[in-house]
Amino acid sequence: MIDTGRYLIGAAGISGFGSKSTADEVTENCDLRSTTAIITGATSGIGAETARVLAKRGARLVFPARNVKAAEEAKGRIVSEFPETEIVVMELDLSSMSSVRRFVAGFESLHLPLNLLINNAGRLAHEHAITEDGIEMTFATNYLGHFLLTNLLVRKMIQTAEETGVQGRIVNVTSGIHGWFSGDVIEYLRLISQPKCQFDATRAYALSKLANVLHTKELSSRLQQKIGANVTVNCVHPGVVKTRLTRDREGLLTDLVFFLTSKLLKTVPQAAATTCYVATNPRLVNVSGKYFTDCNETTPSGLGSNSSEATKLWAASEILVTQHSKAAFDPFS
């Protein structure tokens, strides 16, 4: 009850910010004119606001997007507000591992530095679907595509940090819903990656968000063990906000849920605050492997805190991203 009360009134935590803080407010004193940032899912919602605020602070932005037209429109809106902003739009479908590889090759050909990677894109699909790589669509889009993207870009981030002396940061956008998942992570993914299965869209989404948390934990451990890797990774729960994430689940029931929880909803600028805080705040130098909500560090679920689960998922993910197209999901066969 105390935590709920603090949330509703927007009481500030140790960071000086709280649930009512906005992305503009948490970045007020930031100068990002020497920063290059890749932001997935920047065409709408939390990602678009994150991009707008980072552009306001001077960052060069790269927009990977499945819908290039929508990304160009998002770029236009930002440039109209901040004319000096440099934004590069590139095609990327996170559900396709070959598309991820093409994007990274294209980005590397630009010879740009990379200081900041924000893995923000996500989807909550109602219908069961399998990707060209044989993986359940929600998991592939929300987690596995970002896993491969991050692994392919982290060398560039380490290089940039070494050349500039400025610590690189990776931010994984997850959700408090990750705590809704219980059970065997790999076995459930195996189940829902079959063409025919009993599909629970909410549980599949919770699994993908748990995977974001576990990815953060394991990647942080690996970066800390690598000599000279001046890069951190943290994950954030942005809060409850009605964005295009729910576009596949519009209807009376969804609208009713959002109406009943309206007092708990954040505005988009408030929802983008934690991402922007973790991406830019100087207090978080050398802070890595942590989970943030309302711009303050907190604790993920028990499963999300499990190091052995994180290691196990990483091993399975490495196999999945190297399998041939349409391979059946069986990482331990």
Report which of 219, 233, 217, 213 is spatially closest to residue 301, judged by C-alpha positions.
Answer: 213
CB-based contact 314:223 (threshold 8 Å): no
Out of 7, 205, 277, 291, which one is annotated catalytic?
205
| Neighbour-count burial of 152, counting CB atoms closer than 10 A to its CB (0-12 exposed, 13-18 middle, 19+ buried) | middle
Decide if 188 is catalytic: no
Q: Which helix (H) or strand (E) holds 290?
A: none
Q: Give the integer Cα–Cα distance in Å for 148 and 301.
A: 24
Report which of 164, 200, 160 is spatially closest to residue 180, judged by C-alpha positions.
Answer: 200
CB-based contact 291:302 (threshold 8 Å): no
For residue 303, give every residue at least 6 positions away whose Cβ sits within 8 Å of its Cβ, in sequence order, or none.
179, 181, 182, 185, 210, 309
Catalytically active residues are 205
